[in-house]
Every structure is written in C-alpha cells, then in structure tokens.
C-alpha cells in the first residue's frame, strides 16, 4: 500500500526581459532580480553562500561519472571561479527554506521540500510571489525587469520547470525508466502549459499542448540543457545516497493553474509509488520521442500511439491504465483520494469536452483564450498578437499576467488562499528539514556561513567552522526541533542543542 | 517507501494543513459568462506593440 505522500519539490526558471532593452545581459539581470529580493530582507546573497560540497550534477544514475572536461559548461551547476560569468551567480536561501538563485541566464526559485501535493502547490506559488517581489523592487530602477513563468521564447530557447521526487534507492533505475516513459509521454494532456507555434522556433503555425515537448531529443540521459531526455539520469540525491535517489524530472511545463500543478505532482508521486511497489503497468511505446511530439501536436487527443507489441493506444487510454492501477493499489488517505479524484476529473473532462477544463489546465485555458481572440479578430495562428498573449499569460504581475486576470475573474479554480501563500513565502513547510534551513537563515543568520539542501555550515565561535550534514530530508523538521531550539540563539548553541557534544570540523553527526 | 510512517505521524501531530475542500465547493465559483467579456478585458492589458514585444522577447536557453 502506498500513498501520494513523498518528499518533493518544484523548480521554476523564470523567463526574464527588460521591456525597453532587448540587449540587456540576462545573467546580470538575473543577479539583480535575486539581490533585489534578498537585500531588503537581510538575506545573504553570494556565490560562496551556497555550500557546493555535496553537489554532483555529473553523476549518472546508471552508475558512471561524466568527466568535467567533457561536460558542456551549461551542465555544471557550479561554474569555475575563473569564469567571468561567475560574478553573477547570486545564491539565496529564502525565509521559507527555498533556494532563489541564478541558474545559467535565468532567476530560479527551487521550493523547499514538502510532503503533500497541496503543500507543493502552495510553495510553488510562493515562488511566484518571490519573483513578483523582485519585479516590484526593480520597477522603480532605471532598468526594470519583467519575469515570466513560462518555458520558451519560441525562438529556439527553452528553460525548465523541474520536479524532484525522493525515491527508494532500492528500486532499479531501469524499472523507473520503463515505468515512467509511457506516463511522462502522455502526462502533458493533464498539465501541459500550451504553446503558440509548432517546432523549436515556432516554424509551423498552430497551437500545441506542451511548451517543452519540441525541445526533447532523447529517451534517457544526463543532460538538461542539450539533447534533453524524457527521463533525466542526474544522480544527485541531496540526501543519504545509500537510501535515496532524487528523481529529477525535466520534462514538464511550468504550470500556473493550481489544479494542474496539483495533478502534475500528485499523479507522478502515485506512479512512482506503483513502480516502487513493482506494480507498474506493462506498457512500452514503440517510439517514445515521436509519441511525445505527436501527443503535444494533437489537440483532438485522438492520436494512436504505437506500442512495442504492435498494438496502439491514445494518450487518454494510457493515462486511464495508469490511473486505474493507482486507484486499485494506493491507500485511502485524504491526500491520495483527492489526487485520484482530480486526476479522474481531468480524464473525464478530456474524454468528453476538453474545453470544460479551461478552469483547471493551463493548455486548455490558454487555448480557449487564444482561439476566442483569434476568431473575434479574424487572425491566423502566426499573428504577433497571439504570440504576445502566449507570453503574457505567464507574466508574474497580477495586473498584467493573463493567467492571473483569468483566475481573479473566477475562471480558473484555485486551491490556496492569498493568506496561505503569503504565509508560505516566509514560513517553511511542515515535516521536512526545510524547517531547520529556514531557521538557520532567519534566527541563526549571524552564525551561518553557508547552506545547501543537505548541509549547514556554521560559525561555532572558538571551535571554528562546522559543517552540519542534513542527509535525512524527514529530520530537522518542526516537530522534532521547535521545542528543543526555543531558547537557542547562536550557532554554537544550535550545534550543542542538536547533540553535537564534541565539536570539530567535518564530523558526521546527523540532525 | 519506508518513510511513509514518519509522514503520517507528522500530519496527525502537525495540524498545519487545512482540511481538503471537496472539489465541488470550488466549481460553484466558476464563472460561466461568455468568453467575450474576458477578451475585452484582455485587450486593455495587452502590451501595446505586439510585434515589437514578441521580437524582443529573446531568452537564453536554460536547463
């Protein structure tokens, strides 16, 4: 019996532009975006603040390491210091335990670790408010910057909205791959963000379901910036590598509609539960990449995808198989039931009248909007107005972003309240080590030298600098620590309260 | 996974999570007005020069 509960997190790379200066340096502007948020809040922002000691972006889940010299520089999460671009690598841990930093040429918000799809929705959305706060802070500067929660400029560039799921290390990686590919290829009908134009540069006119599909070129692989694979093999668990892997999903679109985010993460967590339990459906697509593109380009949802056994299925039929397996084998707790019910509602709506889901799924909401506009104006899909609407749907500003206008007008369902999201911007989620990371940057800021997903580096007074590993994502949470740390205020006191009795650098005590 | 037990415990003790509302409660709020009113509203917030805006929206690739 498995449930939807799992340690997970979202990453959003925001599109960035200076409205009146198309030649602005996006790395510099991304750093300005991060600093504009960090400065007024007293958050430390610098490259050296992130503890890179445990990062291993070139470790491959299939069991080998890529040589740094062979890697494209865009594959390195930590650029060499001698690179002139290194000066722009701003890095911040925000009050809620998230990471807000410059990733390549985009500002990125990586949510704190959460345990439920509802919390995921809340903390993903908190990131949109963080981005909005940056835009507001720079609005009065001489070089204002706008941010877009989208995935492409339709001129050949794409940037990600990644998902992370903690998975049992005992599960063979090949089983994850075979169990996930048919699900991932078809999942876009539930949570695609939609896109004007077909092809990487929008060469052909039209509208498609996924904003990312055209940028994928491999089934399985390590890369995230080139030759993007449906299943990414980056083996960087940010946790005890003997017990866990972190499945790094790079295929998805950035979702704004909360029900779509909810189903995107909830259904994926359930399917991972199926695979961990050895209950994944026996399904193999004959050509996963071609099917990925075909599903994205088929607004009728009728395309038959060839299977390896010679038969064929539609995307909806494949999703039905996964849903039925999850419904049969998953537990009956409230969170799991809610995900199954929403996933069911999406499948029923898509099977009968897809446009009925304009209140829940971004690709449908944007499609209905664009198509209505197109018909009213009598214009074709290659008209710049439609390309503009496609981008402006994702503007993080509530007065300019068309998603936000639709939601505010009651046309898109909402699961959170403004108050809940406001609180999530400054408060860590329950149940994970994000609590301790949040505490470190709020209460122990003076003693904090560096931080990362799975470590804190503290100035422990006369004992020097101490690196505190946090390799158990479920420890360091509020329940375990709030009372114990109520009267603790310095780095040294913190270490003692956590049971570190013999202080020396680089020890392996667990929190 | 082996951590499920821990997660359940956190939930019962934490009490931080709001009770899940049934989806029907939300659907009652969904407006069923014609899409035209929203198109009029959108016209008023669209960036003024679509062609220039789209031409200038150039991103570097990311992950």
CB < 8 Å to A402, chain B:
42, 45
Contact list, A196 vs chain B (CB under 8 Å): none
Task: Tell which of A388, A438, A481 to mutate to test the B interface (max B CBs under 10 Å).
Answer: A388
Q: Judge if A407 and A438 occupy the same domain.
A: no
Residue A113 lies in a domain: yes
Domain check: are A340 and A459 in the same one? Answer: no
Same domain, A449 and A412: no
Give A106's contacts in chain B (Cβ within 8 Å): 59-60, 62
Nearest CA in chain A to B53: A388
Residue A488 counted as domain residue: yes
pTM of the entire structure?
0.89
User: Which residues in chain A are closer than 8 Å to B32, comparing Cβ atoms?
Assistant: none
Dihedral sign of CA atoms B18, B24, B25, B27 in order = positive
Phi/psi at A243 (5° precision): -105, -30
User: How many C-beta neighbours within 10 Å does residue A70 have?
Assistant: 8
Give the structural domain span for A170. Answer: 8-422
In-domain check, residue A392: yes
A27 and A160 housed in the same domain:
yes
Output the pLDDT for position A67.
53
Q: Which residues of B touch A (CB under 8 A)?
A: 1-4, 6-11, 13-14, 16-18, 20-21, 23, 26-27, 29-31, 35-36, 38-39, 41-42, 45-47, 50-51, 53-63
From CA A15, how far away is CA A78, in angstroms rounded? 21
Q: State residue A504's pLDDT score.
A: 54
Residues in chain B: 63
Kindly state whether residues A390 and A455 are assigned to the same domain: no
Nearest to residue A34, comparing CAs of A25, A23, A24, A44? A44
Question: Are A430 and B17 an interchain contact pair (Cβ–Cβ within 8 Å)?
Answer: yes
At A429-455, the pLDDT tens digits run 999 999 999 999 999 999 999 999 999
User: CA of B21: which chain A residue's CA is closest?
Assistant: A415
How many Cα atoms are found within 13 Å in the side-chain-facing hemisphere of A110? 19
Judge: A118–B53 Cβ closer than 8 Å, yes or no.
no
Same domain, A121 and A246: yes
Residue-wise pLDDT tens digits, A63-87: 555 555 555 556 655 544 455 555 5
Segment A159-177 shows an average pLDDT of 96
Candidate from A240-249, A293-302, B21-30 with smallest mean pLDDT = B21-30
Least confident of A1-15, A184-198, A345-359, A480-494: A480-494
For residues A400 and A479, membership in a common domain is answered with: no
The set of catalytic residues of A is 103
Q: How far is A429 from chain B (nearest CA, A)?
A: 9
Q: Is residue A138 included in any domain, yes or no?
A: yes
Closest CA to A76 of A88, A68, A84: A68
Q: State the smallest CA–CA distance between residue B4 and chain A in angstroms.
A: 7
């Amino acid at each position: 019996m498995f449930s939807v509960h799992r340690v997970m997190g979202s990453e959003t790379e925001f599109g960035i532009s200076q409205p009146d200066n198309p030649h602005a340096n996006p790395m510099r502007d991304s750093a300005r975006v991060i600093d504009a948020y960090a400065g007024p809040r007293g958050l430390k922002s610098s490259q050296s603040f992130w503890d890179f000691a445990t990062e291993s972006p070139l470790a491959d889940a299939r069991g080998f390491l890529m040589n740094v010299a062979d890697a494209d520089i865009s594959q390195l999460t930590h650029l060499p210091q001698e690179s002139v671009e290194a000066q722009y690598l701003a890095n911040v841990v925000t009050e809620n335990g998230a990471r807000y930093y410059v990733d390549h040429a985009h500002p990125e918000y990586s949510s704190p670790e959460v345990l439920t799809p509802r919390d995921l929705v809340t903390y993903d959305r908190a990131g949109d408010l963080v981005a909005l706060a940056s835009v507001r802070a720079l609005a009065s500067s001489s070089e204002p910057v706008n941010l877009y929660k989208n995935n492409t400029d339709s001129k050949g560039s794409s940037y990600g909205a990644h998902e992370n799921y903690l998975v049992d290390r005992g599960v063979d990686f090949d089983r994850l791959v075979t169990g996930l590919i048919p699900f991932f290829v078809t999942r876009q009908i539930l949570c695609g963000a939609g896109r004007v134009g077909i092809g990487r540069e929008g060469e052909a006119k039209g509208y498609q379901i996924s904003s990312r599909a055209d940028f994928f070129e491999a089934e399985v692989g390590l890369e995230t910036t080139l030759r993007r694979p449906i299943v990414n093999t980056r083996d960087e668990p940010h946790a005890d590598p003997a017990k866990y892997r972190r499945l790094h999903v790079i295929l998805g679109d950035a979702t704004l509609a909360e029900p779509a985010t909810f189903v995107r993460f909830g259904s994926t967590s359930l399917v991972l539960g199926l695979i961990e339990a050895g209950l994944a459906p026996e399904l193999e697509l004959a050509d996963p990449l071609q099917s990925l593109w075909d599903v994205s380009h088929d607004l009728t949802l009728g395309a038959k995808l060839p299977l390896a056994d010679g038969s064929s299925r539609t995307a909806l039929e494949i999703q039905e198989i996964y849903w039925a397996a999850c419904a049969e084998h998953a537990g009956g707790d409230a969170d799991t039931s809610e995900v199954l019910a929403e996933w069911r509602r999406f499948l029923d709506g898509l099977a009968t009248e897809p446009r009925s889901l304009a209140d829940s799924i971004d690709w449908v909401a944007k499609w209905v909007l664009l198509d209505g506009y197109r018909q009213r104006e009598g214009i074709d899909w290659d008209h710049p107005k439609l390309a503009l609407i496609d981008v402006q749907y994702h503007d993080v500003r509530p007065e300019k972003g068309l998603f936000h206008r639709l939601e505010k007008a009651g046309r898109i369902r909402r699961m959170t309240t403004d108050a809940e999201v406001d609180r999530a911007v400054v408060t860590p989620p329950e149940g994970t080590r994000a609590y301790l990371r949040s505490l470190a940057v709020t209460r122990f800021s003076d003693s904090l030298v560096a931080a990362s997903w799975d470590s804190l580096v503290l100035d422990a007074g006369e004992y020097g600098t101490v690196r505190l590993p946090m390799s158990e994502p479920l420890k360091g949470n509020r329940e375990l620590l709030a009372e114990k740390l109520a009267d603790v205020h310095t780095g040294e006191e913190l270490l003692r309260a956590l049971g570190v009795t013999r202080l020396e650098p680089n020890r392996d005590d667990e929190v | 996974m082996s951590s499920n037990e821990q997660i359940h415990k956190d939930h019962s003790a934490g009490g931080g999570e709001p009770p899940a509302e049934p989806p029907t409660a939300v659907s009652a709020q969904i407006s069923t007005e014609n899409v035209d009113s929203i198109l009029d509203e959108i016209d008023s917030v669209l960036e003024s020069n679509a062609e220039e805006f789209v031409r200038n929206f150039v991103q570097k690739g990311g992950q």
